[in-house]
Amino acid sequence: MADHIRIRKAEGVWTVRSGGAVLGESRNALELTEGDYPFVIYFPREDVAMAFLDRTEKTTHCPHKGDASYFSIVTKSETIPNAVWSYETPKEGVAPIKDHLAFYVGDKVTVERV
């Protein structure tokens, strides 16, 4: 793993919400810290309501983590494009984030410890 990336179990229960709906809740979330960036919570897929997510064609590449795939969040009131990402075949050093999802946090998406 790159020296500037740390992955550990996120303590407590974490939720992700959008459009008035709880998209996920987990006691098994991971916290990824990369350099000076704020930490990111990665939710296990089995703890996220995948019915709210639609895979998009967007992909990006990180030299440390690998190729990311993206999903839009679809709620009753709107679609939030490319709001979720996943490293489906992450590099060996960050293998724990395989089968996990991360969310862009903002006005329309919240991730919090409850």
From CA 70, how far away is CA 10, in angstroms rounded? 22
Mean pLDDT for the chain?
A: 95
Domain count, the chain: 1
pTM for this prediction? 0.95
Q: What DSSP character marks residue 90?
A: -
Question: What percent of the chain has a predicted confidence (pLDDT) above 90?
Answer: 91
Q: Per residue in 5-51, pLDDT tens? A: 999 999 999 999 998 899 999 999 999 999 899 999 999 999 999 99
The pair of structure tokens assigned to 2 is: 């790159």
**Can you tell me the distance from the alpha carbon of 34 to that of 64, in angstroms, rounded to the nearest whole number?**
10
Find the CATH number of the domain harbouring 11.
2.170.150.40
Contact at 8 Å (CB) between 56 and 71? yes
Cβ atoms within 10 Å of 80's Cβ, excluding its own: 20
Identify the pLDDT of residue 3: 78
Nearest C-alpha neighbor of 69 from the set 99, 43, 109? 99
Range of the domain at 75: 5-113
